[in-house]
A and B are shown apart, each in its own frame.
Chain A
Amino acid sequence: MWTMKDQYDVVVVGAGPGGSMAAKSLADRGVSVLLLEKRQEIGAAVRCAEVVGPRDVISRFIPVDESWVYHDLDEVWLYPPNGKQLRKDFPQCGMMVDRKRFDKALAIAAANAGAEVRTKTQAMGLERVRDGVRLTVRHMGREHKIDARAIVGADGVESMVGRWAGMKTALGLTKVFSSVQYQLTGIDGPPNVLQFYFGNEIAPGGYLWVFPKAGGTANVGVCVSPSCQKDLKALDYLDRFVQDRFPYASSVEMVMGGIPIGGPLKTFVSDNVALVGDAAHQVNPLSAGGIVNAMEAGILAGGTIADGLASGDVSERSLRAYDRKWFEESGNLYRLHARLRRLYYKLSDDDLNRLGDTLENLVMDRSPNDLYSLDFAKSVVKTMAWMIPKFRFMR
């Protein structure tokens, strides 16, 4: 096979945003990197509602290219179960992107930085050898062995790298969202508005979204908690909503997914192995967003491994620096958001309506960044304690 060597400093498994950023940051440091993608095309099939952070955040990772941006997002509309519309201006709170092009652009950036990238190449197994790990990969029906000092597992919600490394990654049904989405045509409405619908009949334990894309289309999807859903599946909830609201729409894409919203793994590392993104369960437990988080983690993990290689130590103890940096940055917020998520599971439709009534006051003077502050999360918990009778004990 064409020039895939049998030895690299680091192999990154999975060329999503987390893997590509890890590969890029390693290559930037002069480390030899192989970035593997099991699918034949990076970015496809999409498993995402395609909202990412705003321009100023994304441009920290890659120059924003209009070829993968649909539009900027400036407004959020929320619908509690009673259907009352809550509108909030959040200028520049994010971007709608084409994840196929976005992911590919990131992988190209990694390649341009010096990483070798291969598609349709799947990691099959991992064994520890002296001084590192030996990865078995499969490409076009043939197996190859690759030795590396370290492996980055950026292999998504279905991560095998973590399991091979002996890390406990399986999740209970309260800690994962079951999700499905259509890209629908003929959706009217302003393109710069994110719409969210809540309610136990609409999206038990989760929410339903309408995110506009180009040409009068929108990503319309739902995430539900399998622990809250009744006899229906995520797809049943979505179909019911679409039949009700957009009966004449056509669907030009269907996306399914599991979202690990239980909070981060206790540790992202073991000897010679680091996990990033969905594989490390670094998805925000409240919003279920995970792209910027994965990219940040990719850079943290890449930097830590590069440091470890420079000092000749990529053991678990050395890689723990990645854990420490991540938890220092996001640990408290994720803990609080995971708590909010658990409280959210218990809300009845009446409770949600009540919350909706106060939400306007709660978010009145907040900027989009504030919504991800500890302070805001605390004020939501406090409001819930006062608004929701069954949370009286928290007062």
Chain B
Amino acid sequence: MPIDVNSEKCGYCGGCVVVCHDDAIELAEVNLIISNACTMCNACVVFCPVGALKSVDHERPV
């Protein structure tokens, strides 16, 4: 997943869903699902009121 959800911070408000232009985020009750449609535009990361979303650098060797 290109965006990391910190479930200890996320309040499941769903605001990130509306700023996603890739239709990559879905809020299933209290579970935020981010699909591979994500193009890492970072809009959700900037939006999140509590800083629960972070983009993950996949170039990094695991």
Contacts and interface: CB of A to CB of B under 8 A. Distances in A.
Interface in B1-36: 11-21, 23, 25-29
Given A38-B29, A180-B50, A157 B14 contact: yes
B56 interface: no
Given A122-B29, A157-B18, A234-B49, A47 B13 contact: yes
B11 A258 contact: no
Contacts of A160: 17, 26
A170 B21 contact: yes
Nearest to A164: B23
Contacts of A179: 15, 49
A171 B51 contact: no
Nearest to B20: A170
Nearest to B22: A170
Interface string A43-58: 0010100000000000
Contacts of A173: 19, 43, 46-47
Interface in A151-209: 156-160, 163, 169-173, 176, 178-180
Contacts of B28: 38, 122
A191 B53 CA distance: 36
B37 to A, nearest CB: 12
Contact of B47 (A226, A235, A254): A226
A39 B18 CA distance: 19
Interface residues on B, range: 20 to 34
A157 B12 contact: no
Contacts of A109: none
Contacts of A234: 49-50
B3 to A, nearest CB: 15
A384 B46 CA distance: 30
A256 B18 contact: no
B46 A226 contact: yes
B48 interface: yes
B15 A258 contact: yes
A331 interface: no
Nearest to B12: A45
A160 B20 CA distance: 12
B18 A176 contact: yes
Interface residues of A, number: 33
A128 interface: no
Given A122-B29, A173-B47, A255 B11 contact: yes
B46 A157 contact: no
A368 interface: no
Interface string A1-44: 00000000000000000000000000000000000001110000
Nearest to A237: B49
A177 B8 CA distance: 22
A233 interface: yes
A308 interface: no
A135 B41 CA distance: 31
Interface in A247-262: 254-260
A151 B8 CA distance: 34
A170 B19 contact: yes
Nearest to A238: B49
A180 B20 CA distance: 19
A258 B29 contact: no
Nearest to A38: B29
Contact of B18 (A47, A169, A180): A169
Given A157-B14, A158-B25, A176-B18, 18 more contacts: A38-B28, A38-B29, A45-B11, A122-B28, A157-B17, A158-B15, A170-B23, A173-B19, A226-B19, A226-B46, A233-B48, A233-B49, A234-B49, A234-B50, A235-B49, A255-B13, A257-B13, A257-B15
Interface of B: 11-21, 23, 25-29, 43, 46-51
7 contacts: A158-B18, A176-B18, A178-B48, A233-B50, A255-B13, A258-B14, A258-B15
